Amino acid sequence: MISDKLLVRDYAASKVGVNYLVPLLWLGGNPEKIPFDELPNKFVIKTNHGCGYNIIVFDNSKISLAIVYESLTRIISR
């Protein structure tokens, strides 16, 4: 359970409360459905199945969606 980023959220919330969790802005399996226009200017994209696959977005208006989609598609298929 601890290695699953989604399941561990429930575990942490049950132990310390939801106030200590970082907000989950979107959840899904298709990168092309990420609602970038609804996300804040700064956020992190993390996969649930591995570590080191984070995409840190410092300015939502300057990201290349094609690069994000390609990166996530490559990561998901591993």
Confidence at residue 55, expressed as pLDDT on a 0 to 100 scale: 92
Q: Is residue 38 part of a domain?
A: yes
- Answer yes or no: is 17 within a domain: no
**Mean pLDDT in consecutive groups of 10 residues from the start of the chain, 78 residues:** 84 95 93 95 88 90 93 76
Whether 61 maps to a domain, the answer reads: yes
Q: What is residue 48's predicted lDDT score, i.e. its pLDDT?
A: 83
Q: Which helix (H) or strand (E) holds 57?
A: strand 55-57
Whether 5 is covered by a domain: the verdict is no
Asked, for residue 56, whether it belongs to a domain, the answer is yes
Residue 9 lies in a domain: no
Residue-number span of the structural domain to which 34 is assigned: 24-76
**Whether 57 contacts 71, CB under 8 Å:** no
pLDDT at position 49: 75
pTM of the model: 0.80
In a domain, 49, yes or no: yes
Per-residue pLDDT at 61: 95
How many domains does the chain divide into?
1
Rg for the chain, CA atoms, rounded: 14
- DSSP letter at 76? H
